[in-house]
Amino acid sequence: MRIGHLGDTLVALPAFWALRKRFPEARLTLLSNFDKKNPHYLAPKAVLPPAGLFDRFIDYPTNVSASENLFGVLQLCRKIRSSNFDAVFYLMPRARAAKQIARDRTFFRMCGCRTVFGLDFTAKNSLAGPIPAPTPEITSESSHLLALLNEAGIEADPDDLSTELLLSEAEEKSASDFLSAITLNNGAPLVGIAPGSKWPSKVWFEERYAEVVARLIDAHDVLPIVLGGPEDRESGDRLIDTWGRGLNGAGKLQVRESAAVLRRCSLYLGNDTGTMHLAAAVGVRCAAIFAAIDYPGRWTPFGTGHAIFRRQVECEGCHTPDCFNDNICLKMVTVNEVAEAASMILSQESSRRG
């Protein structure tokens, strides 16, 4: 069981693959949710490969009325009970409160699931409740889920962790077709850029992205590719007009097509978003700007070599979608430091790729 939006799914990939490798012959089902009232909500089955990782997806609606919820729970319980699962791995986000965990424990008992791994571990490591300030650094969500599996006896090899999305030939072709609109001269590096976020409090400033990428164009002749949802389309158009080059895929590409585009990139530059985790999943190093709204480290992208920018401020840990303090933590992240880190990553990637 794992619920959540795009980033919540992607950070769980190492744990998902660890289970698949540990139980290669098992029939694995992912239990997750979808937001009935949000057409842009990216449920796990829209992100993960349709085959090869999980054999089946079961989801249930959230953001519904009390009567719909009760009916849905009963339907879900019957479906799970009829499946005769041998075990459940409870890979829920760490914000799960004690009351929710207790309710989930009861639910799985109702479903006839006697063996549920991870309930006690999640309760012991819960991040429910107010975030303290100053805010301590914690392990990433990916590391937390791997630790949960380790306690359950599933020891993942640190050198054999996978975030493979098993992109299809059709998805790779869509990426190639999209990129064919620009001329890739002399192997000019592509930079994937995500200037938006569902939470305004996470959004670094458009004019700063414009300046950073302008410097990267001068120094590395990069071709910028803007990615994101439909809500990022207008910002992407403005940025492309400013740079005089690049493509805007925001709201145009499906999420797995975006992954195929990102895999061709030398760098991800953007906010703390699902797109950042998508880049990390396909092995792209990130220069990512984080608002100080959450625990430092919690949403660090999987992998190594990333440049993370987060400032400690008095109001950190607010965990609010709308900033009440004039985006002070984001204002403290400068164009110079981001441009320098991004340039260094591009230089290193150029040397590595030869």
Verify that 134 and 177 share a domain, yes or no.
no
Verify that 67 and 190 share a domain, yes or no.
no
Instruction: Tell me the mean pLDDT in the region 244-270.
Output: 97
* Nearest C-alpha neighbor of 18 from the set 192, 208, 170, 148: 148
The domain spanning residue 36 has which CATH number?
3.40.50.2000
In 3-state terms, the chain is what percent helix, strand and coil (to 5)?
45, 10, 45
User: What distance in Å separates the CA atoms of residue 212 and residue 231, rounded to the nearest whole number?
Assistant: 22
pLDDT at 184: 66
pTM summary value: 0.95
Verify that 93 and 121 share a domain, yes or no.
yes
Instruction: Tell me the mean pLDDT in the region 310-315.
Output: 97
Tens of pLDDT, residues 34-46: 887 787 788 898 9
The rounded mean pLDDT for the chain is 95
Verify that 69 and 93 share a domain, yes or no.
yes
pLDDT at 352: 83
Instruction: Tell me the mean pLDDT in the region 167-172.
Output: 98
Examine the fold and report which residue of 160, 191, 224 is the final residue of a domain before the chain moves on.
160
With respect to residue 271, please indicate whether it lies within any of the assigned structural domains: yes
Verify that 66 and 110 share a domain, yes or no.
yes
With respect to residue 97, please indicate whether it lies within any of the assigned structural domains: yes
In this structure, what is the dihedral angle of CA atoms 241, 219, 263, 182, given to the nearest 10 degrees? Answer: 40
354 pLDDT higher than 90: no
Q: What percent of the chain has pLDDT over 70?
A: 99
137 pLDDT higher than 90: yes
Q: What percent of the chain has pLDDT over 90?
A: 88
Using CB atoms within 10 A of its CB, is residue 349 exposed (0-12), middle (13-18) or buried (19+)?
middle
Instruction: Tell me the mean pLDDT in the region 345-349.
Output: 96
Dihedral pair phi/psi, residue 123, rounded to 5° = -65, -40
Instruction: Tell me the mean pLDDT in the region 235-241.
Output: 98
Q: Domains in the chain: how many in total?
A: 2
Q: How sure is the predictor about 153, in pLDDT bands with cuts at 50, 70 and 90?
A: very high
pLDDT at 186: 64
Verify that 228 and 311 share a domain, yes or no.
yes
- C-alpha pair distances (Å), 96 with each of 14, 120, 121, 122, 322: 20, 12, 11, 8, 22
Structure token pair of residue 99: 């009351």
136 pLDDT higher than 90: yes
Examine the fold and report which residue of 113, 130, 160 is the final residue of a domain before the chain moves on.
160
Tens of pLDDT, residues 277-289: 999 999 999 999 9
**Torsion 79-83-85-88 (CA) sign:** negative
With respect to residue 1, please indicate whether it lies within any of the assigned structural domains: no
Verify that 156 and 179 share a domain, yes or no.
no
Cβ proximity of 279 and 192 under 8 Å: yes
Pairing between β-strand 267-271 and β-strand 190-194 as defined by DSSP bridges: parallel
3-class DSSP state of 184: coil
Tens of pLDDT, residues 65-116: 777 888 888 999 999 999 999 999 999 999 999 999 999 999 999 999 999 9
Domain holding 184, by residue range, is 169-353
* Amino acid found at 256: R
